[in-house]
């Protein structure tokens, strides 16, 4: 069969799909992958055909002003870029799909184009969900922090309503249904890259959802890395998004862990210049990015922003976490880690070096946390990963092609 994948231009959304793509190809299927050119190399490395589609609008967002909620600052410019990208790239996407029709479109749940394109060309749509799933009983909104100040909430509500109208008008003009926005109704079939046990109200999700967890593969192009020290390894990363530019946080980490018992690998991203950080202690290695899977295989503790992809990879490799979330969705996951006894959550505001060092030391020494993480690691690995995802996708599409009832039927 031929599958088309469509994703937003973000590592936390592309990366979870790469082992699935690799497994589809290993089983003899063909995959065409549509996203921005930033991900061309890693997509070609797993054997898929790459098609450039859309721009990396994340990279073009302004840097948030420190001390103000990043979500409120970036909501309007992000929505504008997302819609402009949709309007510009959608016709070419549909033309490609019609010229080389897939048997199904596997689309990132946050894309606006995925479900519309599948409907436009008349093929099944399968949602790829790198974070919490939503159904009639659970909404991600229920996990988000309290509402912002009224004036900020009004601006955000107006922006969301305006975006909703633009997307609805665009969809109507294309003759298709308005796509899922944020946490709307689920797709007819959904692959979720977390285990059911990590999903709040996981027992309420029916056969439309396959909770397959993460997979540790498909990232061979990320590079090589080896832990060269003899002390326990602390990995520090706030993820790949430019929204998490925090030179102040990285300087605090140097104060906390420099000259400590820890060997430190700290990913500072492309937006932070190492010269902003001052003198780098001998026990700290700094790079824009590290090959995360290789580092986590050897890490003792992960100091993380609690992005879901990073969280799942840490659990896969049995690494306890100290979470310092930077965005509301990450706050929800950081709280979930604490609820399940898998680590600690620290507020990004008013942190001190001593608090950071104390939290990392505490988590490293806590036997109950380590037991909980080990148990969840077994659950994560047992969810099936890419193999389970591909089997579910194959079965779903074959049933549709042969007229058998779908997951709700």
| 298-350 pLDDT per residue, tens | 999 999 999 999 999 999 999 999 999 988 788 999 999 999 999 999 988 87
Reading the block at residue 267, the tokens are: 């990913």
Note whether 229 and 339 are same-domain residues.
yes
Cβ atoms of 165 and 222 within 8 Å: the answer is: no
In a domain, 407, yes or no: no
Give the per-residue pLDDT at 83. 82
In a domain, 408, yes or no: no
Condensed to tens digits (0 to 9), the pLDDT of residues 289-300 reads 999 999 999 999
Task: Report residue 381: phi and psi, to 5°.
Answer: -65, -35
Note whether 61 and 19 are same-domain residues.
yes
What is the CATH classification number for the domain harbouring 116? Answer: 3.40.50.2000
In a domain, 306, yes or no: yes
Note whether 124 and 266 are same-domain residues.
no
In a domain, 121, yes or no: yes
Count CA atoms within 13 Å of residue 48 on its CB side. Answer: 29
Domain that holds residue 355: 221-381
Note whether 6 and 64 are same-domain residues.
yes
Reading the block at residue 17, the tokens are: 């799909």
Residue 141's pLDDT band (cuts 50, 70, 90):
confident
Percent of the chain scored above 70 by pLDDT? 88
Domains of the chain: total:
2
Condensed to tens digits (0 to 9), the pLDDT of residues 156-169 reads 677 778 888 888 99
- CA distances to 98, 134, 138, 166, 318 from 379, rounded to whole Å, are 40, 21, 22, 42, 11
Mean of per-residue pLDDT scores for the chain: 88
Give the per-residue pLDDT at 4. 98
Number of C-beta neighbours around residue 136 at 10 A: 10
Note whether 132 and 228 are same-domain residues.
no
Note whether 262 and 199 are same-domain residues.
no
Note whether 192 and 288 are same-domain residues.
no
Residue 147 scores a pLDDT above 80: no
Write out the DSSP string of 254-288. Answer: HHHHTTSS-EEEEE--SSS-GGGG-PPPTTEEEES
């Amino acid at each position: 069969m031929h599958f088309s994948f469509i994703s937003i231009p973000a590592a936390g959304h592309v990366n979870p799909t790469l082992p699935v793509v690799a497994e589809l190809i290993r089983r003899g299927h063909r995959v065409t992958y549509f996203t921005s050119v930033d991900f061309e190399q890693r997509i070609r490395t797993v054997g898929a055909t790459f098609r450039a589609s859309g721009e990396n609008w994340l990279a073009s967002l302004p840097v948030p002003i420190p001390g103000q909620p990043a979500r409120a600052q970036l909501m309007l410019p992000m929505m504008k870029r997302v819609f402009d990208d949709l309007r510009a790239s959608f016709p070419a996407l549909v033309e490609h799909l019609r010229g080389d029709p897939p048997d199904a479109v596997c689309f990132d749940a946050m894309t606006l184009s995925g479900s519309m394109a599948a409907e436009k060309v008349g093929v099944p749509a399968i949602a790829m969900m790198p974070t919490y799933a939503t159904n009639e009983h659970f909404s991600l909104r229920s996990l988000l922090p309290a509402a912002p100040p009224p004036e900020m909430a009004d601006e955000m509500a107006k922006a969301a309503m305006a975006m909703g109208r633009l997307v609805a008008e665009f969809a109507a003009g294309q003759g298709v249904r308005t796509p899922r926005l944020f946490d709307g109704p689920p797709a007819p079939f959904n692959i979720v890259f977390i285990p059911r046990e990590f999903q709040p109200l996981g027992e309420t999700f029916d056969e439309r959802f396959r909770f397959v967890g993460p997979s540790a593969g498909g990232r061979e192009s990320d590079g090589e890395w080896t832990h060269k020290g003899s002390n326990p390894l602390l990995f520090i990363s706030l993820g790949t998004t430019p929204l998490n530019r925090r030179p102040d946080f990285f300087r605090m980490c140097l104060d906390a862990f420099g000259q400590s018992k820890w060997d430190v690998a700290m990913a500072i991203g492309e937006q932070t210049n190492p010269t902003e950080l001052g003198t780098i202690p001998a026990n700290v290695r700094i790079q824009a990015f590290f090959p995360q899977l290789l580092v986590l295989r050897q890490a003792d503790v992960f100091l993380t922003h609690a992005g879901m992809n990073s969280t799942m990879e840490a659990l896969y490799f049995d690494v306890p976490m100290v979470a310092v979330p930077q965005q509301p969705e990450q706050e929800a996951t950081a709280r979930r880690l604490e609820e399940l006894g898998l680590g600690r959550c620290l507020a990004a505001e008013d942190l001190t070096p001593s608090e950071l060092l104390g939290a990392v030391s505490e988590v490293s020494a806590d036997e109950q946390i380590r037991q909980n993480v080990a148990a969840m690691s077994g659950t994560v690995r047992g969810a099936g990963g890419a193999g389970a995802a591909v089997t579910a996708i194959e079965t779903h599409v074959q049933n549709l092609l042969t007229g058998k009832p779908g997951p709700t039927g």
